[in-house]
Amino acid sequence: MIRSVAWGLRLLVIHLFLIFIVWLATYFPGLDLLLSLVYLLVIWQAGARIGSQAGKWKLETLLAGVVAQLPGFVLTWANLKYYWGTGIISGDFTFAFQLWHTPALPWLSLFSFPVFDGFKSYFIALFFLSPLYVGVLMAGSYAGQRGSR
């Protein structure tokens, strides 16, 4: 349990640094895409290291992923409540939500998303990124578990 939280905090710090690094890399074409790919590889390798250790690797990996992406899950929930009209969240949380997913934004820029009545539908894709990060971590953990046999 403590080891999972420690992994989660490490991944949280890596994510915070990647927000800043990818933001700076957007000034250089292609570098932001490369750094986003590196970030996914780091998540994959962290999952593989967690999975290669004996024990309850599925639960430990899931807990580490949830700890690492807890701000993303909270911001997702807050923004969903705001857009459903049941929350009192301001636009600052929308900005924080987009900022949290900065490491994946270069990949979203490769796709063409339609606009519906002024609402950019790429924003909907942001709601799925925190679970996607945890999924990549779990996939890496599964690969690490299979490789350690």
- The crossing angle, in degrees rounded to 10, of helices 129-147 and 57-68 is 150
Residue bearing the bigger pLDDT, 91 or 144: 144
pTM of the predicted model, to two decimals? Answer: 0.85
The SS3 call for residue 115 is: strand
- Tell me the two tokens of residue 129: 């990124």
**Sequence letter at residue 69:** Q
pLDDT of residue 149: 60
Phi and psi at residue 127, in whole multiples of 5°?
A: -65, -20
Domain that holds residue 52: 2-147
- What is the rounded distance in angstroms from the CA atom of residue 21 to the CA atom of residue 24? 5
Q: Give the tens place of pLDDT for each residue, 29-59.
A: 899 999 999 999 999 999 999 888 767 778 8
Q: Specify the number of domains making up the chain.
A: 1
- The crossing angle, in degrees rounded to 10, of helices 70-83 and 2-25 is 70
pLDDT of residue 110: 85
**Sequence letter at residue 55:** G
Listed in sequence order, the DSSP H helices in the chain are 2-25, 31-51, 57-68, 70-83, 91-100, 105-108, 122-126, 129-147
pLDDT of residue 80: 83
Q: Give the tens place of pLDDT for each residue, 48-87.
A: 998 887 677 788 899 999 999 999 999 888 888 877 777 6
**Sequence letter at residue 36:** S
Q: Give the tens place of pLDDT for each residue, 2-18.
A: 888 999 999 999 999 99
pLDDT of residue 68: 94
